[in-house]
Structure 1
């Protein structure tokens, strides 16, 4: 299915978030040595440091969102796990060689064990400009039953996939995930003014857009140490 043929279902009428409890958010963090390979030409040897900075700023903002009850990070990276745990995240060891979507399903199962009545969402860990208020608006737009997702800035991928308590999450992340999540029956959240929740970062150009939005302190500090955006080797 192409982007133009995506036809989201109509959402049910919303219910107050307070009636649904605090959200559980699950974030995936790759081993830092392997993360954000497309940033290599821009960030050089600081690429792992920049990937960690993205995750730290994303988790910090997510924990500050008033609708979020807990943040769980699925990772096998001991450095990332240690620093994210200090922020207050619950660290869940990812399944070895399972890939992104199995790791997210694993994290979702863990989240349901510790908060079985809470609504659940998977959030990209590379949202360094994330604003707690914008995340709250997105979570508040999730229907009370079923599944919903938010597309990334280009409209091809997905930065957030949510489901109600007891519903199957069914993550299908990877290239073209917007079309896959829509084809799987998830409702697409169409909020137009939540750029910080849509702007994930894979390239130097993506980072330039995130910096223009205003990134968190960890990303700002590392970004100041790498080559100027757009400078060629």
Structure 2
């Protein structure tokens, strides 16, 4: 696993550190089971994560991306893109993994600006993420609701602010109750569109997934939705 190097702390001006959690691929995307078998779901979960991390690293506001995973295959693929990878040392669920990733970042940069980002945002665009991060910078803690308006795809903590993730299920309400400000930036559908169900997958296809997701979808025999198309629009 890649270790973070301790560097002089320049605060938020040095850019955001994103923490991306990823469960073992064999366990990922179980709600896609009505449409896809286990190997196909694993391939898609990795492609989602690769497209998410690649788009995040291409965002000008992002300093680095820390992936928390115990999956060796995924860790290697995401490290190859430039992510820093750390094992899921707590192995105690999503929020524990995010807290571990945040500690990893702040051990190197105690006043880092942090944000958690879902690993299943295959239609993420760097420009959209930059708009979300710009909006988040105005608040000590902030979050972005998912496309369904129930969950959360993004949670931020400004330099020095506590990072307290409450992901899973109706996390929009939990993050609001915990005092995080809900963001409402315009035109950021790719940051909101996580993929859990076949309907979510169809919606991501309509937005235009990243190249790795599009390639996997093109190779799958899925007759429940139109053929995938990779976005030809410029980032943003």
Shared fold (TM-score, shorter chain, > 0.5): yes
Partner residue in 2 for 1:136? 130
Structure 2 CA distance for partners of 1:37 and 1:29, relative to 1, 3 Å: same
SS at match of 2:179: coil
Q: Tell whether the 8 Å contact from 1:74 to 1:103 is kept in structure 2 after alignment.
A: yes
Partner residue, 2:17? 24
Aligned counterparts of 2:61 and 2:121: Cα–Cα separation in 1? 18
Counterpart CA distance in 2 for 1:185 and 1:218 is: 36
TM-score by length of 2: 0.87
1:100 maps onto 2:98 in alignment: no
Q: CA contact under 8 A between 1:42 and 1:229: conserved in structure 2?
A: no
Q: What displacement does 1:19 show? A: 6.2
Task: Report the TM-score, using the length of structure 1 for normalisation.
Answer: 0.88
Residue of 30, 33, 37 corresponding to 2:30? 37
**Cα root mean square deviation, aligned:** 1.5
Unaligned runs of 5+ in 2: 1-10, 226-236
Give the whole-Å Cα distance in 2 for the aligned partners of 1:113 and 1:19: 15
Matched position secondary structure for 2:133: helix
Runs of 4+ in 1 over 3 A off after TM superposition: none
Residue 81 of structure 1 deviates from its aligned partner by: 0.4
Q: CA deviation at 1:129?
A: 0.4
Structure 1 stretch displaced more, 169-178 or 186-195: 186-195
What is the CA deviation profile of residues 146-184 of structure 1, one whole-angstrom value per residue up to 9, with x for unaligned ones?
Answer: 200000000000000001111111100000000000011
- Equivalent of 2:113 in 105, 109, 119: 119
Instruction: Quote the offset at 1:193 in angstroms.
Output: 1.4
Q: Which residue of 2 aligns with 1:87?
A: 81
2:203 — aligned with what?
209
Tell me if structure 1 keeps the 8 A contact 2:139–2:181. Answer: no
How many angstroms apart in 2 are the aligned matches of 1:120 and 1:229?
A: 40
Aligned residues: 214
Contact (CA 8 Å) 1:129, 1:215: kept in 2 or not?
A: yes
Tell me, yes or no, if structure 1 residue 227 matches structure 2 residue 221. yes
Which structure has the higher relative contact order (CA within 8 Å, separation 6+)?
A: 1
More off after superposition, 207-216 vs 113-122: 113-122
